[in-house]
Amino acid sequence: MSHFRDHRLQLHLEKNKNRARLLISCADQPGIVAAVSSYLSEQGANIVESNQYTTDPEGGMFFLRIEFECEHLSSKKEQLENEFTSISNKFEMDWKIAYADELKRMAIFVSKGEHCLLELLWQWQAGDLIADIPLVISNHPDLRETVESLGIPFYHIPVTKETKKEAEQKQIELVKKYNIDVVVLARYMQILSAEFVKEMPYRIINIHHSFLPAFIGARPYERAYERGVKLIGATSHYVTNDLDEGPIIEQDIERVNHKDNAEDLKRIGRTIERNVLARAVSWHLQDRVLVYSNKTVVFE
Amino acid sequence: MSHFRDHRLQLHLEKNKNRARLLISCADQPGIVAAVSSYLSEQGANIVESNQYTTDPEGGMFFLRIEFECEHLSSKKEQLENEFTSISNKFEMDWKIAYADELKRMAIFVSKGEHCLLELLWQWQAGDLIADIPLVISNHPDLRETVESLGIPFYHIPVTKETKKEAEQKQIELVKKYNIDVVVLARYMQILSAEFVKEMPYRIINIHHSFLPAFIGARPYERAYERGVKLIGATSHYVTNDLDEGPIIEQDIERVNHKDNAEDLKRIGRTIERNVLARAVSWHLQDRVLVYSNKTVVFE
Amino acid sequence: MSHFRDHRLQLHLEKNKNRARLLISCADQPGIVAAVSSYLSEQGANIVESNQYTTDPEGGMFFLRIEFECEHLSSKKEQLENEFTSISNKFEMDWKIAYADELKRMAIFVSKGEHCLLELLWQWQAGDLIADIPLVISNHPDLRETVESLGIPFYHIPVTKETKKEAEQKQIELVKKYNIDVVVLARYMQILSAEFVKEMPYRIINIHHSFLPAFIGARPYERAYERGVKLIGATSHYVTNDLDEGPIIEQDIERVNHKDNAEDLKRIGRTIERNVLARAVSWHLQDRVLVYSNKTVVFE
Amino acid sequence: MSHFRDHRLQLHLEKNKNRARLLISCADQPGIVAAVSSYLSEQGANIVESNQYTTDPEGGMFFLRIEFECEHLSSKKEQLENEFTSISNKFEMDWKIAYADELKRMAIFVSKGEHCLLELLWQWQAGDLIADIPLVISNHPDLRETVESLGIPFYHIPVTKETKKEAEQKQIELVKKYNIDVVVLARYMQILSAEFVKEMPYRIINIHHSFLPAFIGARPYERAYERGVKLIGATSHYVTNDLDEGPIIEQDIERVNHKDNAEDLKRIGRTIERNVLARAVSWHLQDRVLVYSNKTVVFE
Instruction: Give a yes or no: residue D243 inside a domain.
Output: yes
C88 and C203 assigned to the same domain:
no
Contacts D252 to C, Cβ<8 Å: 231
Q: Name the amino acid, one letter, at C176.
A: K
D182-185 and D204-208 beta bridge pairing? parallel
C164 and C129 assigned to the same domain:
yes
Answer yes or no: is pLDDT of C165 > 60: yes
B138 and B23 assigned to the same domain:
no
Instruction: Return the SS3 of D179.
Output: coil
Q: Mean pLDDT across the stretch C111-124?
A: 95
Contact B188, B119 (CB under 8 A): no
The rounded distance, in Å, linking the Cα atoms of B196 and B109 is: 13
Instruction: Give a yes or no: residue B3 inside a domain.
Output: no
Query: Residues B20-70: pLDDT tens digits?
Result: 999 999 999 999 999 999 999 999 999 999 999 999 888 899 999 999 999
Distance from CA of C94 to the nearest CA of B (A): 27
The rounded distance, in Å, linking the Cα atoms of D18 and A239 is: 47
Contact A101, A19 (CB under 8 A): yes
Distance from CA of A267 to the nearest CA of B (A): 18
Contact C249, C238 (CB under 8 A): yes
Contacts D296 to C, Cβ<8 Å: 228, 258
B90 and B119 assigned to the same domain:
no
What is the DSSP-derived secondary structure letter of residue A218?
S
Distance from CA of C1 to the nearest CA of D (A): 34
| pLDDT at residue D1, rounded to an integer | 45
Q: Which of B193, B153, B141, B207 is nearest to B177 (CA)?
A: B153
A130 and A81 assigned to the same domain:
no
The partner residue sitting opposite B229, judged by closest CB among A215, A248, A300, is A248
Among B82, B99, B116, residue at a domain's last position: B99
- Four-point Cα dihedral D88, D94, D100, D105, nearest 10: 150
Which one is catalytic: B28, B244, B260, B287?
B244
The rounded distance, in Å, linking the Cα atoms of C117 and C139 is: 14
**Helix (H), strand (E) at residue C145:** helix C144-148
Instruction: Give a yes or no: residue C1 inside a domain.
Output: no
Q: Mean pLDDT across the stretch B88-100?
A: 97
Residue B5 vs residue A282, higher pLDDT: A282
Backbone dihedral region for residue A148 (phi beyond 0: left; psi -120 to 50: alpha; all else: beta): alpha
The rounded distance, in Å, linking the Cα atoms of C229 and C209 is: 14
Contacts D44 to B, Cβ<8 Å: 30
**How many domains, in total, are found in chain B?**
2
Q: Give the range of the structural domain holding residue C32, as residue numbers without chain letter.
A: 18-99
Q: Which residues of chain A have pLDDT under 50?
A: 1
Q: Mean pLDDT across the stretch C2-20?
A: 83
| pLDDT at residue D11, rounded to an integer | 86
| pLDDT at residue C1, rounded to an integer | 45
Distance from CA of B215 to the nearest CA of C (A): 25
Q: Mean pLDDT across the stretch C86-104?
A: 96
Contact D136, D212 (CB under 8 A): no
Q: Which residues of chain D have pLDDT under 70?
A: 1-4
Record: contact B275-C271, CB cut-off 8 A: yes
| pLDDT at residue C126, rounded to an integer | 86
Answer yes or no: is pLDDT of B1 > 50: no
D181 and D82 assigned to the same domain:
no
Query: Residues B247-261: pLDDT tens digits?
Result: 999 999 999 999 999
Q: Mean pLDDT across the stretch C256-261?
A: 96
Instruction: Give a yes or no: residue D41 inside a domain.
Output: yes
Instruction: Return the SS3 of A255.
Output: strand
Q: Could you tell me if the ipTM is greater than 0.90?
A: yes
Answer yes or no: is pLDDT of B13 > 80: yes
The rounded distance, in Å, linking the Cα atoms of B99 and C147 is: 37
Cβ-count burial of B39 within 10 angstroms (0-12 exposed, 13-18 middle, 19+ buried)? middle
Q: Which of C258, C261, C215, C259 is nearest to C234 (CA)?
A: C215
B214 and B231 assigned to the same domain:
yes
Mutate to test the interface with C, among D55, D208, D231 (most CBs of C within 10 A): D231
| pLDDT at residue C2, rounded to an integer | 54
The rounded distance, in Å, linking the Cα atoms of D114 and D203 is: 22
Mutual angle of helices D262-285 and D115-125, in 10-degree steps: 40
Mutate to test the interface with D, among A50, A67, A115, A255 (most CBs of D within 10 A): A115
Q: CA-nearest residue of chain B to D60?
A: B48
Among C99, C114, C133, residue at a domain's last position: C99
Residues 6+ apart with CB under 8 A from D224: D210, D214, D215, D232, D265
C68 and C131 assigned to the same domain:
no
A127 and A164 assigned to the same domain:
yes
Backbone dihedral region for residue B92 (phi beyond 0: left; psi -120 to 50: alpha; all else: beta): left
Instruction: Give a yes or no: residue A12 inside a domain.
Output: no
The partner residue sitting opposite B128, judged by closest CB among C49, C143, C267, is C267
B274 and B172 assigned to the same domain:
yes
Q: Mean pLDDT across the stretch C233-240?
A: 98
Among A99, A117, A133, residue at a domain's last position: A99
Which one is catalytic: C28, C132, C181, C244?
C244
Instruction: Give a yes or no: residue B47 inside a domain.
Output: yes
Instruction: Give a yes or no: residue A206 inside a domain.
Output: yes
Contact B276, B249 (CB under 8 A): no
Query: Residues D128-174: pLDDT tens digits?
Result: 899 999 999 999 999 999 999 899 999 999 999 999 999 999 999 99
Record: contact C257-D298, CB cut-off 8 A: yes
Q: For chain D, give the longest Cα–Cα distance.
A: 63
Contact A82, A39 (CB under 8 A): no
The residues of A annotated with a catalytic role in the active site are 244
Instruction: Give a yes or no: residue D12 inside a domain.
Output: no
The partner residue sitting opposite B115, judged by closest CB among C126, C149, C270, is C126
Contact A188, A273 (CB under 8 A): no
Please report, for the domain that includes residue C126, its CATH number. 3.40.50.170
Q: What would the DSSP string read from start to end of C199-267?
A: HSTT-EEEEESSSTTTT-SS-HHHHHHHHT-SEEEEEEEE--SSTT-SPEEEEEEEE--TT--HHHHHH
Residues 6+ apart with CB under 8 A from A79: none
A261 and A167 assigned to the same domain:
yes
**Chain C residues bordering chain B (beta-carbon distance below 8 Å):** 1, 3-4, 49, 114-115, 118, 122, 126, 128, 142-143, 145-146, 149, 259, 267, 270-271, 275
D166 and D255 assigned to the same domain:
yes
Please report, for the domain that includes residue C39, its CATH number. 3.30.70.260
